[in-house]
């Protein structure tokens, strides 16, 4: 996990700001330039049916899960259990930091 710029990248954790899932976190699993990303969380939004979201409706965090990013780059997909695990680890870290 590392710091990045404001453009979403595959494997990056984002917070959803608008829509039914507002307030939830998800992982970028694909890009649809210039204005959209594909999001999945492995639970409500599976990798097989990611949510297409406008980048103006998400808040990019400075965290990329490299394991997920590598799998997306190598295979073009990742299993839902890895997505759930990555999000749970991020949320636990955030809770421990008091953010």
pLDDT digits (tens, 9 = 90+) for 63-73: 999 999 999 99
Is the CB of residue 54 less than 8 Å from the CB of residue 36?
Answer: yes
In-domain check, residue 6: no
Q: Which domain holds residue 52?
A: 12-94
Q: What is the pLDDT of residues 62-98, one digit of tens each?
A: 999 999 999 999 999 999 999 999 999 999 998 888 7
pTM comes to: 0.90
Whether residue 52 lies inside any domain: the answer is yes
Structural domain contains residue 90 = yes
Q: Is the peptide bond before 34 cis (omega within 30 degrees of 0)?
A: yes
Tell me the CATH number at 51.
2.30.30.140
In a domain, 2, yes or no: no
Q: How many CB atoms lie within 10 A of CB 18?
A: 11
Q: How many domains does the chain have?
A: 1
| Structure confidence by residue, pLDDT tens digits, 2-21 | 444 568 999 999 999 999 99
Residue 5 lies in a domain: no
Length of the chain: 99
Domain membership of residue 54 (yes or no) is: yes
């Amino acid at each position: 996990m590392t710091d990045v710029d404001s453009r979403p990248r595959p494997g990056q954790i984002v917070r959803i700001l608008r829509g039914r899932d507002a307030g939830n976190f998800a992982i970028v699993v694909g890009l649809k330039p210039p204005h959209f990303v594909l999001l999945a969380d492995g639970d409500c939004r599976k990798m097989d049916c990611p949510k297409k979201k406008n980048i103006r409706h998400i808040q990019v965090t400075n965290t990329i899960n490299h394991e997920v990013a590598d799998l997306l780059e190598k295979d073009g997909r990742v299993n839902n259990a890895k997505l759930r695990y990555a999000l749970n680890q991020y949320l636990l870290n955030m809770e421990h930091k008091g953010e």
